[in-house]
Structure 1
Amino acid sequence: MKSSRALIMLAIAILAGLAAVVFASRWLVHTSSSAVTPVAVAIDDINLGQPINTNLVRIVNWPTSSVPPGAFADTKALEGRVVRTSLTRGEPVLESRLSPIGTKGGLSAVINKGDRAITVRVNDVIGVAGFALPGNYVDVIVNTQAPGSGSGSGSDQHSISKIVLEKILVLAVAQQVSRDDTQPKVVNAVTLEVTPDQAEKLDLARSVGTLSLVLRSQVDGETFKTAGATKTTLFGAAAPVPASAPAAAAKPTRVHYAAARAPAKRDCVGVLSGISGGMECF
């Protein structure tokens, strides 16, 4: 009697345990499936300006609470899209990292609307020893002759170095557009992103003088107005004073002469002394 009751209780406990396991597993499966979202990520590194195909991305389960805005849940939606900033392996593909729909691959795909790309010739000095890399910002300095300086002797005193463009984005160095490599590269050409007005100014600057690139902080957006450096200001001398107009002819000084005064009238008497005489006035 007692043994049969114990067996019944054991069977009930086993059934209850199995039911708990089944319900718990179903709850975990349901919870885990609702807590993740499919997100497209890069299978390997994707370079700037490179078109995307289904062989470069795959779908992974991403925690729903931390899915970044602009993520894609279907790799077919990424077919043919062009990357405007380099992606690393395992990084989610976001709409903000892609060029507009219909853009073809290449450097032109990463140029902002309304801007242009212009290439300038550089060397190891002009190119900041190869540290002007894609994604960096530079200022452009031109060394030339100041307007109005002659070609005769003394014209070197009119040489001037002036910052003509500030905070210009480096798009590429030579044919390299990747922005993930921080190693310096000494190249012979640098491509800059400029506005149409800046493109005209830069083209004129390189035709009238020598260009230099000045590397600046990526987070520094402040601009400065400078007058440029000349040979005179380089050594701290005062700026030459421009020749003034010839002085006006001095006016003749007018001399005033005092009129001669008539002698004051006095009383005089004749004095006779012996055989001589004279006049005594008082």
Structure 2
Amino acid sequence: MPIRRMLMAFLMAAVLATAITYFFSRHFQGASGASKKVRVVASTTDLPVGVTLSAKDVTEMDWPSDVPLAGSITKVEEVIGRPLLYSLGPKQPILTRDVGVQGSGIGLSGKIPDGMRATAVRSNEIVGVAGFLYPGSHVDVLATYNASNGQSAMTETVLQNV
């Protein structure tokens, strides 16, 4: 008889352990499988620097909402017609830092927000803005000189929006 009772107790413990394991596995599986997703704009293929983004270059993809993606873009319309400032791989999310101002082209001008200007200050012959200007860039030419009346240096705009 005692063997029969021990066998029955062992069998009940096994059933109870199976039920507890099943309950916890379903509970944790449901918590991890139900993570919410957000839609972000991503590249469809390899995209080189300077390409003006079109509808065929971008798509929407799911991104886990519990994994923050700073600067993500959620609407395809926000990137259409904007130049790409950095190359992207396929299915790579497009961030606000990756695209320039619409119609600005590539180079330094694409990284300057509307209403702002970039300046170049000569420090020696090597430092400058070579390679940053492209066709369609707008440039202001300023001249700095010492005033004839002994005042400190003055800067005036010589040519604007050239």
- State the shift of 1:75 in Å: 5.0
Residue number in structure 2 paired with 1:42? 43
Is 1:84–1:99's contact at 8 Å kept on the other side of the alignment? Answer: yes
* Counterpart residue type for residue 22 of structure 1: F
The letter of the residue matching 1:19 is I
Q: Is the 1:171–1:192 contact (alpha carbons within 8 Å) kept by the matching residues of 2?
A: no
Are residues 1:13 and 2:14 paired?
Answer: yes
C-alpha distance in 1, partners of 2:14/2:44? 50
Which of these residues, 185, 197, 200, is aligned with residue 141 of structure 2? 197
C-alpha separation in 1, matches of 2:132 and 2:27: 53
Kindly provide the amino acid, as one letter, of the partner of residue 30 in structure 1: A
Partner SS, residue 167 of structure 1: coil
Shift of 1:54: 6.3
Q: Which residue of 2 aligns with 1:51?
A: 53
| Paired position in structure 2 for 1:71 | 72
Runs of 4+ in structure 1 deviating by more than 6 angstroms, as ranges, are none
Do structure 1's residue 167 and structure 2's residue 111 form an aligned pair? no
Structure 2 match to 1:3: 4
Q: Look up the equivalent residue of 2:85 and give its one-letter code.
A: T
Q: Distance in 1 between matches of 2:56 and 2:77?
A: 10
Residue 82 (structure 1) aligned with residue 109 (structure 2): no
Q: Quick one: distance in 2 between partners of 1:9 and 1:76?
A: 61
Q: CA 1:35–1:169 in structure 2 vs 1: closer, same or farther (change >3 Å)?
A: farther
Alpha carbons 1:41, 1:57 under 8 Å: kept = yes
Amino acid at match of 1:83: P
**SS of match in other structure, 1:64:** coil
Letter in 2 for 1:14: V
CA distance in 2, matches of 1:169, 1:62: 41
CA deviations 1:172-197 (Å, max 9, x no partner) are: 7xxxxxxxxxxxxxxxxx75956311
RMSD: 4.7
Provide structure 1 residue ranges, at least 5 long, that are not aligned to the other structure.
117-136, 140-161, 173-189, 204-282
Which AA in structure 1 matches 2:80? G
Contact 1:170 1:193 in 2 (8 A): no
**Distance change >3 Å, CA 196–CA 105, structure 1 → 2:** closer
Mapped contact 1:171–1:193 kept (Cα < 8 A): no
The aligned residue for residue 99 of structure 2 is: 98
Q: Which amino acid aligns with 2:59?
A: V
Q: Which has the higher strand share?
A: 1
- The 3-state SS of whatever aligns with 2:141 is helix
Q: Counterpart of 1:195 in 2: which secondary structure?
A: coil
Larger radius of gyration: 1
The alpha-carbon deviation at position 85 of structure 1 amounts to: 0.6
AA aligned to 2:71 is G
Is the alpha carbon distance of 1:15 and 1:111 closer, same or farther for their aligned partners in structure 2, counting shifts above 3 Å? closer
Give the partner amino acid of 2:129.
Answer: I
Q: Deviations along 1:137-192, whole A, 9 cap, x unmatched? A: 9x8xxxxxxxxxxxxxxxxxxxxxx96x95215247xxxxxxxxxxxxxxxxx759
8 Å contact from structure 1 (residues 99, 110) kept in 2: yes
Cα pair distance change 1:26/1:96, threshold 3 Å: same
Give, in whole Å, the separation in 1 of the partners of 2:96 and 2:82.
10
